[in-house]
């Protein structure tokens, strides 16, 4: 049986980790990144010089290119793993059709220009059916994939047979993968957990301890449930790893860039200075605005999202905002 053909779009740590996962099972994987110098370095030294540099690749397995159209033309399954803020500009380069392509969102963010999750962006902009949309989610940090530590993925798709093909392509001795049909809910959860991780970071930066963090996370999962139910009502277990598990690892892990960003804000950094010092995209920053604006319509009870939005976009002092937030948590 012929192997499915995959292309990974992105050159960061998550794209590098996904490429590593696919190389366990695929004879070849197309890998697009903008940075031509990084491509040449991988060809010579067999690792990405900028992200997860300890991961060594067999370059015979890789079709490396800085032409997004070449990667997309090669593959049937397209894994998008670039910051959501840059997705629009990358897609503007397309000259090949996305018809009959399976779109796999590994972005865990929201498109700033439209306020849409990635799957919905592809459905609305490129008129793709939900059966061609898949979301790669779950508690799975790229850094732990690089170390081959046991990790769990949820592959949510509008077509479960397609989701299972992708799951099989990613599984290995350290990657467990299961499927879900909640393609919309899982992607919203992946977006929302970044906001809650920013909140967790702010709390840490302000000096709150583990007791408050536990309270914050327990309230966050209930808030997530209310929000997603308003957006896309279906039967789901919010305690599954794709929802609660991803929230916990992003809220607590030292690998979490969203927690790191929030921690800097809590310690007194301005938004701009925190972004400049991190030199990485914290998806929760963009997600907070989109979720807040969306909630003005859906009217879910979201005190944590409101608090993060007030700090990041209204310039309110984190200490004062969290004092008020405390009274709204239980």
State the catalytic residues: 193
Q: Which strands sit side by side in the sheet containing 62-65, from one edge to the other?
A: 62-65, 29-32, 6-9, 77-80, 102-105, 133-137, 151-157, 175-180
3-state secondary structure of 140: coil
Task: Find, among 305, 290, 320, the residue nearest to 220 by Cα.
Answer: 305
Q: Are 134 and 42 in contact (CB under 8 A)?
A: no
Distance in angstroms between the alpha carbons of the first and the last residue of the chain: 54
CA dihedral 94, 96, 101, 102 (to 10 degrees): -20
Most distant pair of Cα atoms in the chain: their distance:
61
3-state secondary structure of 206: helix
Q: Are 172 and 197 in contact (CB under 8 A)?
A: no
Task: Find, among 217, 283, 285, 225, the residue nearest to 247 by Cα.
Answer: 217
- The pairing of strands 133-137 and 102-105 is parallel
Task: Find, among 73, 66, 79, the residue nearest to 26 by Cα.
Answer: 79
Task: Find, among 54, 43, 97, 49, the residue nearest to 73 by Cα.
Answer: 97
HSE-CB at 112 with a 13 A cutoff on CA atoms is 13
**Residue ranges with strand state E in the chain:** 6-9, 29-32, 62-65, 77-80, 102-105, 110-111, 116-117, 133-137, 151-157, 175-180
What is the spatial distance between Cα 281 and Cα 216, in angstroms, rounded to a whole number? Answer: 23
């Amino acid at each position: 049986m012929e192997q499915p053909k995959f292309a990974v779009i992105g050159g960061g740590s998550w794209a590098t980790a996904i490429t590593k996962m696919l190389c366990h099972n695929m004879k070849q994987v197309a890998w697009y990144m903008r940075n031509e110098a990084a491509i040449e370095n991988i060809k010579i030294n067999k690792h990405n010089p900028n992200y997860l540099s300890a991961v060594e690749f067999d370059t015979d397995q890789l079709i490396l290119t800085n032409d997004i159209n070449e990667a997309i033309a090669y593959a049937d399954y397209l894994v998008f793993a670039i910051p959501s803020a840059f997705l629009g500009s990358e897609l503007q380069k397309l000259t090949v059709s996305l018809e009959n392509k399976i779109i796999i969102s590994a972005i865990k963010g929201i498109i700033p220009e439209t306020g849409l999750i990635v799957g919905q962006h592809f459905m609305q902009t490129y008129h793709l059916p939900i059966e061609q949309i898949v979301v790669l989610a779950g508690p799975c940090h790229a850094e732990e994939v690089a170390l081959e530590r046991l990790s769990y993925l949820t592959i949510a798709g509008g077509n479960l047979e397609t989701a299972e093909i992708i799951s099989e392509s990613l599984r290995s001795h350290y990657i467990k993968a299961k499927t879900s049909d909640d393609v919309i809910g899982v992607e919203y959860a992946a977006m929302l957990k970044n906001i809650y991780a920013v909140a967790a970071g702010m709390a840490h930066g302000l000096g709150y301890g583990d007791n408050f963090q536990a309270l914050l996370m327990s309230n966050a999962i209930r808030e997530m449930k209310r929000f997603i139910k308003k957006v896309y009502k279906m039967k789901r277990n919010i305690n599954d790893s794709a929802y609660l598990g991803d929230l916990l690892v992003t809220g607590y892990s030292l690998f979490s860039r969203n927690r790191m960003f929030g921690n800097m804000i809590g310690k007194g950094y301005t938004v701009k200075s925190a972004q400049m010092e991190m030199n990485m995209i914290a998806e929760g920053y963009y997600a907070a605005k989109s979720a807040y604006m969306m909630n003005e319509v859906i009217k879910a009870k979201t005190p944590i999202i409101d608090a993060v939005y007030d700090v990041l976009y209204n310039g309110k002092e984190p200490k004062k905002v969290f004092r008020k937030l405390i009274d709204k948590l239980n």
